[in-house]
Amino acid sequence: MVATTCHADLLDQPVEELIASRTRGHWVTRYRTAHNLKDLTKAWHLVYNVYSDAGLIDPNPYAIHTTPTAATDRAAVFFGHRGPQVDSTLTAVVDGSSGLPLDCMFKPELDAMRQDARRLMECSLFAHRLQNVSAASVIPVWNRMGEEDLARTSAISQVGSSLINLMRLAFWYGVNNSVTDFVLTVPAGQSRFFKRAYGFDTVGSPRNHPVLNGKRMVLIHANLESNLRKRPLPFALRYSLERPIASDEFLHRVRLCPQTLSVLAGQIDGFLRFQYPDWELAA
């Protein structure tokens, strides 16, 4: 299989036209929102494969991985694909009455932000099919990655390029939902990349992730209004701003809820009941 990367001129095409096509005989990577259960299930199956191969999660009979709050109508699942193959994915969850996935680790810090009347959104469940290739060298390369690396063809650059393009979708989904602050967790050594690329700052101290087999993770946070005032703008934030996405892209996203999962998405429903016995409380 020929590995191709997503070049900047191709990324300028409207999201509405993100249909798999070929360029010079190779599949071109496209990024879009999951509008049906088939695409959503493919995305979370990729998360399962990548995370289980890395030892972050244990095998399960449903061969997917997600979280209860990702299976609500506040979430949007984004993915990159080359033809029929899903290469990468990321899920964004807007805060609501049942909270965010990160409340299981950083609830005091998130509650402090909520008390300031901020509207939070979490970006999580990122996976790329090449994510575990040369894993030991990912952190030092990412920490010095810049905009010029987006069009390179190495495995690590492809992972970084996919992350930035999926975050572009998540950024505009957040803007369309009046989000003021973005939060996510990363391995402690990768926080420097997110600070350079987006302006994220570390909040609190690293903690063991209860779902990812105790992986040491750190909470990072970015306030949109503050970061938009930075000069120069962080390069990945500027990249997203210069490529706006119409709200129509998100209108037809898959909207899950506990009451309909058992009928519409038995595989997801089965996994949530298997992994999270109290998942039906997430609404």
Instruction: Please name which of 270, 68, 117, 93 lies closest in space to residue 185, comparing C-alpha atoms.
Output: 93
Asked whether residue 26 is domain-assigned, the answer is yes
Indicate whether 205 belongs to any domain: yes
Q: Looking at the domain assignment, is residue 257 inside a domain?
A: no
Average pLDDT over residues 46-63: 94
Task: Say how many C-beta atoms besides its own lie within 10 A of residue 144's C-beta.
Answer: 10
Indicate whether 101 belongs to any domain.
yes
Whether residue 262 is contained in a domain is answered as no
Alpha-carbon torsion, ordered 157, 159, 163, 164, to 10 deg: 10
pTM assigned to the model: 0.84
Q: Residue 192 above 60 pLDDT?
A: yes
- Domain membership of residue 207 (yes or no) is yes
Q: Examine residue 150 and state whether it is found in any structural domain, yes or no.
A: yes
Tens of pLDDT along 100-130?
999 999 999 999 999 988 999 999 999 998 8
Query: The CATH number of the domain where 42 resides is what?
Result: 3.40.630.30
Q: Residue 280 has what pLDDT?
A: 59
Residue 45 confidence (pLDDT) above 90: yes
- Least Cα distance to 50 among 159, 143, 154 occurs for 159
Instruction: Name the H helices within the chain.
Output: 8-11, 37-53, 103-114, 138-143, 155-176, 191-198, 224-228, 235-241, 248-251, 258-264, 266-275
Q: Which domain holds residue 73?
A: 8-247+267-281
Burial class (CB in 10 A: 0-12, 13-18, 19+), 129: buried
pLDDT of residue 43: 97
Cα–Cα distances in angstroms (integers) from residue 187 to residues 102, 212, 214, in the given order = 14, 11, 11
Q: Residue 252: inside a domain, yes or no?
A: no
* Residue 28 binned pLDDT confidence (cut-offs 50, 70, 90): confident
Task: Count structural domains, the chain.
Answer: 1
